[in-house]
Amino acid sequence: MASIVDPERFFINKWEMYKILKTSAIKEFNFPETDVLSIESLNRMLNRYLCLYVKSVSTWGGEKIGKIEKQENGYGLIIQSITNNSYASIDDLYNCG
């Protein structure tokens, strides 16, 4: 399958780059578990890990990276140390944006 090129930058986005590198013959890379954000993938990953990093496919240079952490009464979301919000459920967290 051909990669999707971002028409504004004439380059492939993070997800497309991940798919290319993951299937490449270069085996020295150690890739963290990665998936496209959906309610299902968010639920699965939060059941597996205490902390997740969320990155937009359309930003560059480390812009707008989010960190999700399990908390005592739900989930916390910090985006670039600018916003710090708590959500009671995975549904609330997923629908916050």
Q: pLDDT value at position 3?
A: 53
**Residues 85, 12: Cα–Cα separation, whole Å:** 31
Q: Which residues pair with 67 in a beta bridge?
A: 53, 78
Lowest mean pLDDT across 19-33, 50-64, 82-96:
19-33
In a domain, 76, yes or no: yes
Q: Flag whether pLDDT at 44 surpasses 90.
A: yes
Does 47 map to a domain? yes
Query: Does residue 39 lie within any of the structural domains?
Result: yes
Asked if the model's pLDDT at residue 10 lies above 70, the reply is no
Would residue 16 count as lying in a domain?
Answer: no
Range of the domain at 80: 33-94
User: Is the entire prediction scored with pTM above 0.85?
Assistant: no
Is 17 a domain residue? no
Mean pLDDT of the chain: 82
In a domain, 11, yes or no: no
Task: Kindly provide the residue ranges of all beta strands, DSSP E only, lying in 1-97, ordered along the sequence.
Answer: 5-6, 11-12, 51-54, 66-71, 74-79, 83-87
Residue 34 has pLDDT above 60, yes or no: yes
Q: What domain count does the chain have?
A: 1
pLDDT per position as a tens digit, 51-62: 999 988 777 777
How far is residue 12's CA from residue 44's CA, in Å, rounded to a whole number? 26
pLDDT at 11: 65
Assigned domain for 9 exists: no
Residue 20 forms part of a structural domain: no
